Structure 1
Amino acid sequence: MPNLRRLAFVCALFLSMTPAAAQQTQSRLYEITKSGVLRVCIWPMYYSISFRNPDSGQLEGIDIDLSKELAKDMGVKLDYVETSFGSFIADLQANKCDLGMFGVGATMKRAQAVAFSDPYLTSGVYAVVRKGGPITSWADIDKPGVNAGVSLGSYVENFMRSYFKNAKTVAVAPPATTQAELMAQRVDVVMTDYPASIKMNAQFDWTTTVAPPENLSVTPYAYVMNQGDQIWLNYVNLFVRTIKLDGRLKAAAEKNKLGPIVAP
């Protein structure tokens, strides 16, 4: 980052500080700057977000692109740490990474244990089914005998367990994937978010997406960190606001087919 831009960024950061942040003497921001390395937790099985392409072996997705932008703005190297929705809170608390950047739903329950940045995406719940299968509409899903696959630890899992009256929620844990379970017909439908639904349709021509009749469990997606570090949170929030203003968020979203769910 040019010196002038860096200076403006830091000045804006300190102007936005709360009194609590102004009293802080220690912060992960200082530790990252000193070490020269930003450790970012990702889940490399999240389509369009942080996905390891099986053909190239390379990581791709909006949060791969934006984590590189954050590291560039900070002038540090980037180190990815693999996690999952079932373990990321424990990994953050164990100091395995400085920040989670993999489309984490900012829910009230999770906010009891971790801190969230300003949102950068929002998504509701969608259903992905096999073409020509028994489920052709939303009304076909919540019926006895229907197995609905969800990613273990995701906000979708918690929501569907309370939403379904008749269908069975099947939590799929890594290294298994919901799309593999759908392909093997061990589940009849995958309940997921917009990013996963559009990517599954793009990669597997035997799938199609069924949208709910109305917005369902619309959730903000944000970056996640340990609680109690207002300086680091302010910095990440300023990054989110900056990429919204300078067009980097929109460009990364469009590149990864997520334009319709960019947060305002």
Structure 2
Amino acid sequence: MKNIKKWMAVVLVGVMVFAFAACGQNKVVYKVAMEPTFPPFDTTDTETGELSGFDVDMMEAIAADQGFELEWANMSFGGLITALQSGNIDIIASGMNASPARREKVDFSETYYDSGLVVAVKAGNKTITSIKDLTPDMKVGGQIGTTGADKCNELQKAGKIKEAKIYDGLDVAMMDLQNGTIDALINDLPVTKAYMTAKPGTVEIVGDVLNAESYGIAVKKGNKELLDKINTGMKNIKENGTFDKLYSKWFE
């Protein structure tokens, strides 16, 4: 009888272990993508080479709160929405402005950061003090797929600048700004500030913030189940203080 009880106990433990393992294996995994040249939102850890930034930490906190896992992917910003629409990824977390035009293509979470565009010039530039100083002989840069690029194209179309030079990554745009390939760069305020902090004395912001915009997490149009998870998770991490801790880590 004792042997039977021991045998049954062993079987029960085995079943429980198998059940827990099965639950772990069945955990939902979502593929989330970003373009990591947009610090402090999206960048690459210099030591590990892993994707890093506020968006990574925020999404991982949301995932932990909602009980799902994330698989991260590095993609060009200009290709993110196409990848989402085609089903190659499930989520975009890449400092993306939840603009009306983008809302026609994807669904956005509740916004989590209010930003705006600024004009950046090479440090020491005395010619350009605001966007009003841009002239028809100048080249102005922006990052592909962003409202900064839209503003550059708008200025070129209106004849206010010579060329709108659109870049895949911010790092190259900043280097071109410093070496004089472009006269100015139009980009998001917090990202430009982060670059100035990382590389002091290289570029500076001139003039006022141009327009307000708000960042959101994007999912495929109609994916209400995932959108609800993200919104609920974001609400929870804001209420329990996690969001504020992450904000302090990356912005203060």
Superposition TM-score tier, normalisation by shorter sequence: 0.7 to 0.9
Contact kept in structure 1, 2:34 and 2:75, CA below 8 Å: yes
1:229 and 2:237 correspond: no
Amino acid at match of 1:188: D
Q: Percent identity?
A: 21
Deviation, 1:117, is 0.6
Deviation, 1:238, is 1.5
Partner of 1:205: 200
Deviation, 1:244, is 2.2
Partner of 1:99: 91
Partner of 1:248: 242
Partner of 2:13: none
Partner of 1:183: 178
Contact kept in structure 2, 1:129 and 1:208, CA below 8 Å: yes
Deviation, 1:221, is 0.4
- Write the distance in 2 (CA, Å) between the matches of 1:205 and 1:55: 21
Which residue of the other structure, out of 210, 215, 233, is the alignment partner of 1:239? Answer: 233
The superposition leaves residues 99-123 of structure 1 with CA deviations (integer Å, 9 ceiling, x where unpaired) of: 1111100111111110111000011
Contact kept in structure 2, 1:83 and 1:91, CA below 8 Å: no
- Write the distance in 1 (CA, Å) between the matches of 2:239 and 2:228: 16
- Write the distance in 2 (CA, Å) between the matches of 1:95 and 1:121: 26
The 5 A counterparts of 1:58-97 are: 58-97=50-89
Structure 1 residues 64 and 141, CA gap change in structure 2 (3 angstroms): farther
1:157 and 2:146 correspond: no
- Write the distance in 1 (CA, Å) between the matches of 2:216 and 2:37: 18
1:110 and 2:102 correspond: yes
Which segment is superposed worse, 197-206 or 103-112? 197-206
SS at match of 2:134: coil
TM-score, normalization: structure 1?
0.77
Deviation, 1:140, is 6.0
SS at match of 1:256: helix
SS at match of 2:76: coil
- Write the distance in 2 (CA, Å) between the matches of 1:128 and 1:55: 29
Structure 1 residues 182 and 55, CA gap change in structure 2 (3 angstroms): farther
SS at match of 2:177: helix
- Write the distance in 2 (CA, Å) between the matches of 1:229 and 1:253: 27
The superposition leaves residues 150-209 of structure 1 with CA deviations (integer Å, 9 ceiling, x where unpaired) of: 001112211332256412321112497211221332111111002211111012223343
- Write the distance in 1 (CA, Å) between the matches of 2:196 and 2:81: 30
TM-score, normalization: structure 2?
0.80
- Write the distance in 2 (CA, Å) between the matches of 1:182 and 1:56: 28
Unaligned ranges ≥5, structure 2: 1-24
Unaligned ranges ≥5, structure 1: 1-32, 260-264
